[in-house]
């Protein structure tokens, strides 16, 4: 009979510490790969132009084999989920309630109405094209709210299935490409229609998908247009909060119909963080230097998360999707353009 083995509290503590160090090391490998991609693509975008998020996606997809290799997998998953949610939460530091009030009631109602219409239309158009409703809601939310950031945030609260990550990547690629094209084309439309600076700002901020492209397009016309377009865009970003909450309720109801557990999901931590930062920033409690640092950190987190999602997705999986999702996102983009431009032209803004 073997003698009993006694362990001291110190031995238990040390073993837990070793396991934690091992977990950090496992996460660190994959996370370092994603951060390296973020650094490389940011350098390329800053020096040669183009959308950083799209570069990060493509670079990540070229390293897809790492997602099948055990040493990097845990860190890639950490970047695709935890780092992503941190980046979305930090978006709240970009806006205040005072900025929203300065816009006036019509632009704010235009943003709210256009977001609701485009998301609902996305679900309807997806059904008409023979695509899943989930994909229509995801692409509609991404087009209507804030492009790639919305795609990542909304997908985080949607049910997971075998095609969920592929749909997220497809949506990010589509809205980023359309947003880049809009950054070039929409200022030309504003010029052709002879829109005033305020009108052009509302038009660009209400239609272009990603924040960076809105800023670029707005300041192409004038400083005033750039300021207004950025502010309108931030109001759209704020719509991410009710959209995520509605998506949580919607897919909880779907699970109940399917006979799954009907537990009420907790409000996601990243969404709570977003709201808290908006409130704190509205109270003027965040110094400007800290605010800029948080915005920069948000950008880096999102680029790192996009790189991770790219690594997890292969070109072969995207190739089987076909042309229908592309048509879906183009139709949603045209619908958003028509709604906002119609309000700008005929509401006397």
Per residue in 95-111, is it b (16+ CB within 10 Å) or e — as a string? Answer: bbeebbeebeeebeebb
Low-confidence stretches of the chain (pLDDT beneath 50): 6-7, 9-11, 13-14, 16-18, 20-21, 258-265
Q: What is the pLDDT of residues 111-148, one digit of tens each?
A: 999 999 999 999 999 999 999 888 999 999 999 998 87
Question: Measured between alpha carbons, how far is 232 from 230 in angstroms, rounded to an integer?
Answer: 6
Question: Measured between alpha carbons, how far is 280 from 294 in angstroms, rounded to an integer?
Answer: 13
Residue 340 pLDDT: 94
Residue 20 pLDDT: 47
Backbone angles phi and psi of 104, in degrees to 5:
100, 165
Under a CB-based contact definition with an 8 Å cutoff, are residues 307 and 38 in contact? yes
Residue 92 pLDDT: 77
Under a CB-based contact definition with an 8 Å cutoff, are residues 163 and 134 in contact? no
Residue 192 CB-density burial (10 A; 0-12 exposed, 13-18 middle, 19+ buried): exposed
pTM beyond 0.95 = no
Under a CB-based contact definition with an 8 Å cutoff, are residues 18 and 25 in contact? no
Residue 235 pLDDT: 83
Residue 265 pLDDT: 46
**Domain assignments of the chain as residue spans, ordered by start:** 28-346
Angle between helices 240-257 and 269-282 (to 10 degrees): 160
């Amino acid at each position: 009979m073997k003698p009993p083995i006694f362990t001291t509290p110190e031995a238990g503590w040390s073993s837990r510490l070793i396991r934690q160090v091992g977990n950090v090391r496992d996460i660190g490998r994959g996370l370092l790969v994603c951060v390296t991609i973020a650094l490389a693509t940011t350098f390329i975008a800053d020096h040669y132009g183009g959308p950083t998020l799209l570069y990060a996606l493509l670079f990540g997809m070229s390293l897809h084999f790492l997602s099948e290799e055990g040493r990097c997998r845990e860190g890639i998953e950490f970047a695709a989920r935890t780092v992503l949610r941190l980046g979305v939460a930090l978006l709240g530091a970009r806006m205040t309630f005072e900025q929203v009030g300065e816009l006036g009631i019509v632009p704010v109602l235009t943003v709210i109405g256009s977001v609701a219409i485009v998301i609902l239309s996305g679900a309807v158009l997806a059904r008409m094209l023979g695509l899943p409703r989930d994909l229509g809601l995801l692409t509609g939310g991404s087009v209507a709210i804030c492009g790639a950031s919305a795609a990542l945030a909304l997908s985080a609260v949607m049910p997971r299935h075998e095609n969920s990550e592929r749909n997220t990547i497809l949506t990010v690629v589509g809205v980023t490409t359309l947003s880049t094209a809009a950054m070039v084309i929409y200022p030309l439309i504003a010029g052709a229609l002879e829109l005033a600076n305020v009108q052009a700002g509302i038009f660009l901020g209400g239609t272009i998908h990603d924040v960076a492209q809105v800023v670029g397009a707005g300041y192409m016309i004038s400083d005033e247009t750039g300021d207004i377009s950025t502010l309108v865009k931030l109001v759209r970003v704020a719509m991410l909060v009710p959209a995520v909450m509605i998506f949580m309720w919607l897919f909880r109801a779907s699970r109940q119909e399917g006979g799954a557990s009907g537990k009420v999901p907790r409000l996601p931590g990243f969404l709570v963080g977003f709201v808290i930062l908006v409130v704190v920033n509205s109270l003027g409690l965040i110094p400007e230097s800290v605010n800029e640092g948080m915005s920069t950190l948000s950008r880096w987190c999102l680029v790192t998360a996009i790189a991770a999602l790219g690594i997890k997705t292969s070109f072969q999986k995207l190739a089987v999707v076909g042309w229908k999702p592309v048509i879906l996102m183009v139709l949603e983009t045209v619908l958003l353009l028509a709604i906002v431009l119609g309000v700008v032209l005929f509401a006397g803004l």
